[in-house]
Amino acid sequence: MRLFFILFAITLFLSSCDTSGDDTTITGISTEFDRRSSPVINEIMFEPLQNTGDGIVDQPDFVELYNPGPEAVDVGGWYIQDCPTASGRRYSYHFAQDPGEDNLLAPGQYAVIVPEESPDPAGSRLAGYYDYLSEDHSVRIFIVERKTFSFNNDNDCIALKDGSGAVIDSVFYDRSWHNPYVKSTKGFSIEKYNDQLASASPSSWSTSSDRKYGATPGKRNSIYLSEGDMHRSPSLSADPGEFSPDMQGNGETTLIAWKLPAGAYQIALTIYDSEGVTVRRLAEGLPTGPTGAIEWNGLDDDREPALSGIYLVRLSVAGDTFDGTGELEESVVLVR
């Protein structure tokens, strides 16, 4: 019986590809690589979630640096600076002032510059909100002793300068750099797709796709792609391709994953039976980056167990770099 299911699944998948009338090509964003060896601005939180009355640790604003070069860099005396105000005032935030401290940023190391009223990184809002940082001692946390930075929520510039005032890297960000399908970007950072992309280019950045924290300070960006994957062919997979959950949707699940080229997207993910009837809508209008995954536990939209059989998984993709909707399809076998 299982062999029949598998053979029928292959036939169903091939026929669905042949009959698709959608010619939209998903190629991703245009890219501009700087290929730098000096530290770069890699992630920015300029509109954090903060509510002093909710009893939850406030999310701080921050700027993340990354050292892509082969050598350690001494950032002693370095600072970040924003755009001038209407009156001409420009705020400078010195984050590595003490010459007696270890101010080296090792190759491949992240540094997070954060405003805190206490100089203790362990007791900071950063470590409290992003609790994984307390376990990762490889991340450099540089504290600027103040409550917040002066970064605007709509647009502003951030320049990274060394002790002599020379510009190491700079960004003039705009709120429009966020994924346009994210309704509320408050509490989400903007991240680079790749640290070697030009910091000044809007196409280098998009909204963090980390759904737990809204940002990834001190670790690889959630939307990161290697240079070779920036324009990869879109793909959809189900792992395992045959799964056996129980009647309550517990136990074995199948993980439906998509891989897209660099870009900002909105997806719908739907499960159909062999007659083309919708069984489960796993996502509708979900904003996403180039990589994502959702589990299916074998239940339908009414949370009733779907019957054993062959199911078609269809991913419909809208993007800000192309018109129309692209579709990817895969098959999966459900065995009770």
CATH of the domain at 289: 2.60.40.2550
Which percentage of the chain shows pLDDT scores above 70?
Answer: 93
Q: Are residues 192 and 288 in the same domain?
A: no
State yes or no: pLDDT of 143 exceeds 90: yes
| Cis peptide, bond prior to residue 290, ω within 30 of zero | no
Pairing of strands 62-66, 110-116: antiparallel
Query: Where is the domain boundary, 227, 243, 273?
Result: 227
Residues 73 and 197 in one domain: yes
Residue 24 lies in a domain: yes
Based on the fold, state whether residues 190 and 291 are members of the same structural domain.
Answer: no
Same domain, 95 and 211: yes
Q: Are residues 80 and 19 in the same domain?
A: no
Q: Looking at the domain assignment, is residue 152 inside a domain?
A: yes
Q: Is 33 among the domain residues? A: no
Q: What is the pLDDT of residues 77-100, one digit of tens each?
A: 999 999 988 888 899 999 998 777
Q: Residue 332 pLDDT > 70, yes or no? A: yes
Provide the domain limits for residue 290: 2-28+231-334
In 3D space, the residue among 216, 161, 215, 139 whose CA is nearest the CA of residue 38 turns out to be: 161
Q: Has residue 75 been placed in a domain?
A: yes
| Mean pLDDT of all residues belonging to the chain | 90
Indicate the pairing of strand 254-259 with strand 140-145: unpaired
Residue range 198-257, pLDDT digits in tens: 999 999 999 999 999 999 999 999 999 999 999 999 999 999 999 999 998 888 999 999
- Last residue within a domain, chosen from 194, 227, 260: 227
Give the pLDDT confidence score for residue 237 in this predicted structure: 98
Structure-token pair, residue 288 = 């996403």
Paired strand residues for 43: 64, 191
Query: Hunting for tokens 């324009």 — which residue is that?
Result: 231
Into how many domains does the chain fold? 2
Among the residue ranges 74-83, 181-190, 260-269, 316-325, the one predicted with the least confidence is 316-325
In this structure, are 95 and 207 located in the same domain? yes
Over residues 18-28, the pLDDT tens digits come to: 333 345 688 88
Q: Is residue 35 part of a domain?
A: no
CATH number of the CATH domain containing 136 = 2.60.40.1260
Same domain? For 125 and 151 the reply is: yes
Short-list 29, 209, 59, CA closest to 126: 59
* 128 located within any domain: yes
Report the pLDDT value the prediction gives residue 13, as an integer from 0 to 100.
Answer: 39
Both 77 and 187 in one domain: the answer is yes
Neighbours of 265 (CB within 10 A): 29
Query: Global pTM?
Result: 0.88
Is 220 found in the same domain as 184? yes
Does a structural domain hold residue 142?
A: yes
Is the model more confident about 89 or about 294?
A: 294
Q: What is the pLDDT of residues 36-70, one digit of tens each?
A: 999 999 999 999 998 877 777 889 999 999 999 99
Q: Residue 16: is its pLDDT beyond 60? A: no
In a domain, 34, yes or no: no
User: b vs e for 188-217, b when ≥16 Cβ sit within 10 Å of the residue's Cβ?
Assistant: bbbbbbbbbbbbebebbbbbbbbeebbbbb
Q: Are residues 239 and 220 in the same domain?
A: no
Chain segment 110-134, per-residue pLDDT in tens: 999 999 988 888 889 999 999 999 8
Last residue of one domain, picked from the residues 180, 202, 227: 227
Same domain, 208 and 67: yes
pLDDT over threshold 90, residue 321: no
Q: Say if residues 221 and 262 touch (Cβ distance below 8 Å).
A: no
Residues 312 and 281 in one domain: yes
Q: Which residues lie below 8 Å from residue 213, measured CB to CB, with a gap of 6+?
A: 129, 130
C-alpha span between 316 and 219 (Å, rounded):
30
